[in-house]
Structure 1
């Protein structure tokens, strides 16, 4: 007796096992890939302690309003000759003079320790770091001070 082409194959426990194992293998593989992407692109914590941050929120809003009132414009951070370069202008578009600027350079995912950068003004009005910035992506937490005015900004540099 030969099997006809119309005969339906039986669904057995073996088939069910293959389907279930394949399903979970796909789910686990996708989860592992997504976890890898999440960990490799995570830029760190926004705040170390959310309760303390919530207590300082109104103070930060006041600082932001004060900084906006200064009318200073801070350019994106650029890499020139291996050093960080930032231009700061006044409301009138003129270079901001007679100020000091420092920054803490942090690797976004903590692959190296943070370090401090000091800046000096160049003839063009731009400010250049006094030390070379290692290759790669860095987050600069910048503090600009002119007299009693102070501004904090964060800039990424590649």
Structure 2
């Protein structure tokens, strides 16, 4: 048998130090990246004061039940001129005309500031408002027939 010309080098403290520093460096880099991505896409605020919100929760449930009982429906879209368009119908399918329709436009990732919108009736039950291009979440409030109804939808 011939002896190999290659000799084994001993495993030293430098090797283990390099392995540990590399491992923890990668873990820390990934954690920093994930934390940065998470904080840049969601601000973390759902309500300003959770205690105050909890005190109003039962009231909100009653309002939501009353709104759901109305059976109103809204179809949100963009029309041919780039405006946000909402078609409102009652529980029987009739157009809800002469309503006061407002909305708050929110960018889904919070990249742009919120915009308060007042929609104008263009035909019975059809309401529109100019809206910047992009994807928007609209929190719509409809006041008609002495009732208030709210919905949330997206406009692309």
Q: TM-score, normalised by structure 1?
A: 0.82
In structure 1, distance between residues paired with 2:25 and 2:10? 24
Unpaired runs of 5+ residues, structure 1, are none
Across the aligned residues of Structure 1 and Structure 2, the Cα RMSD in angstroms comes to 2.5
Are residues 1:79 and 2:78 paired?
yes
Post-superposition shift, 1:90?
1.1
Query: Any conservation in 2 of the 1:90–1:96 contact (CA below 8 Å)?
Result: yes
Cross-structure match for 2:146: 148
In structure 1, distance between residues paired with 2:27 and 2:82? 44
Shift in CA distance, 43/139, structure 1 to aligned 2, threshold 3 Å: farther
Shift in CA distance, 36/136, structure 1 to aligned 2, threshold 3 Å: farther
Please give the per-residue CA displacement for 1:29-71, whole angstroms capped at 9, x wherever unaligned: 2112212331343265221111011000000000010001101
- Show structure 1 runs of 4+ deviating over 4 A: 2-8
Unpaired runs of 5+ residues, structure 2, are none
Are residues 1:28 and 2:28 paired?
yes
Post-superposition shift, 1:6?
8.9
Q: TM-score, normalised by structure 2?
A: 0.83
Please give the per-residue CA displacement for 1:96-115, whole angstroms capped at 9, x wherever unaligned: 22311011223344444333
Q: Pick which of 59-68 and 83-92 moved more.
A: 83-92
